[in-house]
Structure 1
Amino acid sequence: MEESKNVSGAILYGIIAVFLLAIFSSLIFSLLLKFTSLQESSLQFIITAISFVSLFIGGFISGGKGKQKGWLLGGLTGLIYSTIIFLFQYLGFDKLFDFQQMIYHICFILTAMMGGILGVNLSNKSRNA
């Protein structure tokens, strides 16, 4: 029971981190779009890169908090993030993921898994030092 509590807490920390980073970056980009002559299409690559970094950080935090099975913690963090986005898109806009979005979300999950693996390994190193 204690281990499942630790796993769910670690994933929750990761999900919160991802969404806080998403909210903060959305605020920054909306201000840039409002008060400069930038177009949304010119920021697409940067927004995608920040999404991947946010998922990596979320997986890293999950792995660091969980201290074991980083691939699982990061993967679940990415999967829960993708599920929330899917539900928001489906229930809010009545649209399913298209093929390109599916590829993005699979890559998001893999990126969060890598972050989880690194988070576990770095947290174990600092604990052993």
Structure 2
Amino acid sequence: MHHRIFSSALYGILTILILVIVASLISSTLLKFTTLQESSFTWILLGFSFLAVFIGGFISGGRSGQKGWIAGGTTAILYSLVIFLVQFLGYNQGFDGEQLLIHTGYVLIAIVGGILGVNVRGESF
């Protein structure tokens, strides 16, 4: 069972990373070729991040088929760990209070996504 949850979490993380990369490419293109400023994207990107983590938790829960809250939570914790490692090792910065709140929100929203993913699981997973 633990193997199934971990492999499901990896699918969830992959989903999140793909969505975040696509959002980054779109926002970078918009910033480059329009008069939009980065400050106008902050809340949009934060909202999209939460949506991506929810979808990742949903995929993870659906793939696990059981205990979606654990699969979703594991997905968000592993995703937060990846973000922390990149930030710490790449930029020599830890999480501040605001980031801890955001990543706690990620865990909670991924848990909800995982629960819903198990409950609407179909043959498409």
Task: Say yes or no: TM over 0.5.
Answer: yes
Name the structure 2 match of 1:55. Answer: 53
Amino acid at match of 1:7: I
In the TM superposition, what is the alpha-carbon distance from 1:41 to its structure 2 partner? 0.3
Aligned counterpart for 2:84 among listed residues 80, 83, 86: 86
What is the root-mean-square deviation of aligned Cα atoms in Å? 0.9
Distance 1:100 1:12 in 2: 26
- Residue 38 of structure 2 corresponds to which residue in structure 1? 40
Structure showing greater radius of gyration is 1
Measure how far apart 1:7 and its partner are: 1.6
What is the aligned-residue identity percentage?
49
Q: Aligned pairs, how many?
A: 123
CA distance in structure 2 between the partners assigned to 1:4 and 1:99 by the alignment: 31
In the TM superposition, what is the alpha-carbon distance from 1:71 to its structure 2 partner? 0.5
Within 5 Å, give how 1:1-129 maps onto structure 2.
Answer: 3-123=1-121, 126=122
- Which whole-Å CA distance do the structure 2 matches of 1:30 and 1:109 have between them? 27
TM-score (norm 2): 0.95
Structure 2, unpaired ranges of 5+: none
Higher share of residues assigned helix = 1
Q: Deviations over 1:81-102 (max 9, x none)?
A: 0000001000000011110000
Q: What is the DSSP-based 3-state SS (H/G/I as helix, E as strand, rest coil) of the residue aligned with 1:12?
A: helix
Q: Is the 8 A contact 2:5 2:70 kept in 1?
A: no
Deviation at residue 114 of structure 1 after TM alignment:
0.5
What TM-score do you get using the length of structure 1 for normalisation?
A: 0.92
- The 2-side partners of 1:34 and 1:85 are apart by 25
CA distance in structure 2 between the aligned counterparts of 1:54 and 1:117, rounded to whole angstroms: 16
Q: Distance in 1 between matches of 2:25 and 2:44?
A: 14
